[in-house]
Chains A and B, each alone.
Chain A
């Protein structure tokens, strides 16, 4: 999972204002939209995950977690005195049935995806994702491709500078959700910049 983090001010410390959060050992969430609303969703997801584990004695299956988060988000569309969440969430996790990706929108809709994107540049990002042969890629290759897409979709003219934040959960990360290791992240950024230059050169 990758996030294009627009840097609001040069005074901000790199690495602060995290947009990707670990929900449980085996799963994480990338948030897009109102940061405070996103925090609420992440907190709820963490609590659902630990509660499930205390009752059922096994880590929460990703499908179940997605359903619970979706119900919670949907709840806020039912009552006049609650406003809907102002953010969408991409949930990635690894359980007994392998790695899975879910996206939950403010309406409370949740689907499982092989590739998903939220935010201003999502249309362009989705087009790029569809070009990829996902079933033939390793997670490592996926990290590089995601970086390329985010760099590709970033609008130099309109948007400010941005910081790339990435996380992964795969066999290589021992099925734990963690930040992409620094050398791989640098490799991905370099590949993304190179790809951009190629595009510009045409």
Chain B
């Protein structure tokens, strides 16, 4: 396949799989770590879960530049708001600021985001802010190119009132399923868990993730297969 020069100058896009899930007591946010320019993987270990305040985080997908800029503005506004209010901002306010920027600049931006966090009034909350700038409060949200493969999975696997461990396992499993099928998602799985006690970041490198249908075990070289005594060297 020919690699044209345009590919290297193409805008950085995060193919991405992003997920936000509420559980009994807080939220778990999850994402893959692949940032691509065309077919080249510009960053294989990016962090797509960005902090807005101590208690609210944002999952970014779509154009990397657009989502980073939006998150920078929202962090700035929220910081001022927190000072004025004298207490931590609520997740709803953070999500509203994100969607105002997204909606009012819809002709220029191409980014889908998931806002998740915990506040003392409403507890754990997830808000989806997809491409056009709608805002929708959901018990769980998925986004990015890899999310197409997860709609059916969540319909079946999601349940109300999970524990923290169940929610984290669900998120890791879902992101790894999406990575298996979506070429624009890959790398490691990052999760951020937010509850009344604070924020906890986890990191799952590729070798800790389960293998799905037809995925091969990691091996040093395919030539190793030849030395193994096998009754069926090749299936014709």
Contacts and interface: CB of A to CB of B under 8 A. Distances in A.
Interface string A148-185: 00000000000000000000000000000000000000
B25 to A, nearest CB: 20
B63 interface: no
B85 A57 contact: no
Contacts of B97: 55-57
A58 B90 contact: yes
A92 B92 CA distance: 24
Contact of A56 (B86, B93, B121): B93
Q: Which interface class (under 10, 10 to 19, 20 to 34, 35 or more) fits B?
A: 10 to 19
Contacts of A186: none
Contacts of A130: none
A67 B86 CA distance: 12
A49 to B, nearest CB: 15
Contact of A57 (B84, B86, B92, B121): B92
B52 to A, nearest CB: 14
Nearest to A53: B96
A64 interface: yes
B95 A56 contact: no
A55 B100 contact: yes
A63 B84 CA distance: 10
Contacts of A58: 90, 92-93, 96
Interface in B70-99: 81, 84-86, 90, 92-93, 95-97
A64 B95 contact: no
Nearest to B100: A55
B93 A96 contact: no
Nearest to B78: A56
Contact of A61 (B85, B100, B135): B85
Interface in A50-86: 55-58, 61, 63-64, 67
A56 B85 CA distance: 12
Contacts of B100: 55
B95 A57 contact: yes
A180 B122 CA distance: 31
A55 B92 CA distance: 11
B128 to A, nearest CB: 15
Interface in A76-107: 96
A102 to B, nearest CB: 15
Contacts of A55: 96-97, 100
Given A55-B100, A56-B97, A57-B92, A96 B81 contact: no
Contacts of B86: 63
B86 to A, nearest CB: 8
Contacts of B96: 55-58
Contacts of A56: 81, 93, 96-97
A56 B81 CA distance: 9
A61 B81 CA distance: 12
Interface string A19-37: 0000000000000000000
B85 A64 contact: yes
Nearest to B135: A57
A96 B121 contact: yes
A61 B84 CA distance: 11
A117 to B, nearest CB: 27
B89 to A, nearest CB: 8
A64 B90 contact: no
Interface of A: 55-58, 61, 63-64, 67, 96
17 contacts: A55-B96, A55-B100, A56-B81, A56-B96, A56-B97, A57-B92, A57-B93, A57-B95, A57-B97, A57-B135, A58-B90, A58-B92, A58-B96, A61-B85, A63-B86, A64-B84, A67-B84
Ranked nearest first, the 6 interchain pairs of A and B with the lowest CB-CB distance are A57-B96, A56-B93, A96-B121, A57-B92, A56-B96, A58-B92
Given A55-B100, A58-B90, 15 more contacts: A55-B97, A56-B81, A56-B93, A56-B96, A57-B92, A57-B95, A57-B96, A57-B135, A58-B93, A58-B96, A61-B85, A64-B84, A64-B85, A67-B84, A96-B121
